[in-house]
Structure 1
Amino acid sequence: MNILFCYPSFFPITGGGTVHGYYLAKNLYEQGHKITVINKQDDGFTNYINKKDILKFIKAVRCSDVVYVRISTSGVANFIPFIANLLGAKVIGEVNAPSEELYLLGKSKRKVLLSRFLLKFQLKFCSELISVSEEVNNYLLSLDLSSHVIYNGGERIKELPSEAVISKSWTLKYKKIMLWSGNVYSWQGSNILKDITDRANQLGYGVIIVTNENYNSNFSSNVKIIVNPTREQLSNIYQLCDIGLAPYDLSTLTKWGFYNSPLKIYEYLANDLLVFTNAKNAQIDKLANVIFFDDIESIFIKIEESQYCNDFPIRTWKDVSIETNCVLKNIK
């Protein structure tokens, strides 16, 4: 199929949506699809058109078998589904969060309601919808819509060529090395990360923080902060780590519960890390090598009691692309 792949960010990979977009597109390409994108730095496998060139964009829509669109909850109307539908294209819309997520970013109730209205407007022009969790699908059901639930996956990065960013000698000072990755939004657990690292320091654990912005907390010497690492540097980091941390501020949950399909958890698992999280939902509850904790102290009690088991399959982006391909084949 010719797929016009409309993702707000795609390449280079900087985390979040770029991880999802890049690896899904790459694996669809490897299954034989031709991928055209609207955001471009050379990634080695896609074609590129500038969405600001209206005539080329219209031509790309008309030449596509499917237009695949990540639907934003930002409150800004994305009219690609409407335009593509008007031009006779089949559209798949991908939804990653309910509009209520905007509350976590400090938006007003008016903004959230406007986003909900715009989201429903966009989605009615989609032939099929994909959501990343049962909870997001429940949100769509509240809009009288339904979706194919396709969870996220992880990429095995530790076997890529690596570039040393942390010395092995530093890791040898500690019992185990813990990894936290994410941005500094409090709902991603950054508000309790300092307490976790302080307790880790007392008990002899090292912590690596990977983030896309400078972290201003005053961490102790057991913490290394890496800002915007390359994939080669991430390979080095995963080779050094034992534990993946995925704490969340559960007080920020919307009425849909924990609706995420956490990219960090799947990537931790794909790179042989034992994962510690306090978040539960329909998909996380089923994952092997995920340990749930209630408070900071229980993390360190359970670390001593648990170890990674290799007997379980790892969900990868290839799995995600195979499930997405089933939706593509059956689109009407």
Structure 2
Amino acid sequence: MTAARTDRQSEARVPDRTEGDVVLRLEDLVVEFPVGGGQTVHAVSGIDLEVRRGETLGLVGESGCGKSTTGRAIMQLPRPTSGSVVFEGRDLTTLSARELRELRPKLQMIFQDPISSLNPRRRIPDIVGDPLVVWGRAADRAEVVPEVLAAVGLDPEQVADRRPHQFSGGQCQRVSIARALVLEPEVLICDEPVSALDVSVQAQILNLLEDMKRRYGLTLVFIAHDLGVVRNISDRVAVMYLGRICELGTTEALFDDPVHPYTRLLVSSIPSIEAVHDLGTDLEQADRGRGEMPSPINPPSGCRFRTRCPLATERCAAEVPPMREVKPGRFAACHHPILRQSPDDEGD
């Protein structure tokens, strides 16, 4: 494992700055669920997103916006309604069950609840080593499992005879991370990996993920509703609202100067972010912006944020705003992006 991993780390640290730089691409991804009475939940509605090799892409939004569904759709759990998920040049949505299974070791997921995602009847080494057994590498368990457990900060000897209920939530999340790493993945989908943990434990898990990313050359998709957490760990951030991506950019630029009204509303709600008063009192004081998200069963026409947006016009109700580049490297789906004027903003 060590030699193979060393080669992979070299590839991840010096990525090919061409088409190969994009390891994962979502194209017009749609996920819908039928419900009673002939109605449909529009969980994810035609999103386009690229994940670059070696980066951490944060995916944020309120509860119910579709971010966890997006993560599961990447894993084909379940398969999306339409669109494509292209991983290393192969569209996962078109693969047979056998072909998809062959790619599964390269795509792993950390689930939201660290305790319920582990089999309570199995011992920790068995939980972590099961993927090796499934893939015909049972002979490697004695060497690989202790190595991975030690990498995530667990003493292999102390956990040898213990089961999940004997651990704290943070320790169970370390076990989940070890299980995800044992097959040497390329991409790790992290679905709210710290939301169920105490603040002090959250910091430990976030530091662990950063360490594992460097050690194993991982690409992370980090899903969360806590913007403070996402800001600390992500290279780029995609903001999601009611099944659609509304803004995408580098972490620093997006948090310092959000251009979509929804992103600005989210950022203004975080008291720990400095200079939040400078983001514009028009949005901070808008009562409509503080309302609840509409139902995904019957989303608003046009821009889905328009029912809460103080800048909404008739055009917002009639036309779906396309995702476009409003600043260098900054993309937003808004008819009225909030663009600050500065000497560097030529033409804004």
TM-score normalised by length of structure 2: 0.33
Structure number having the greater strand percentage: 2
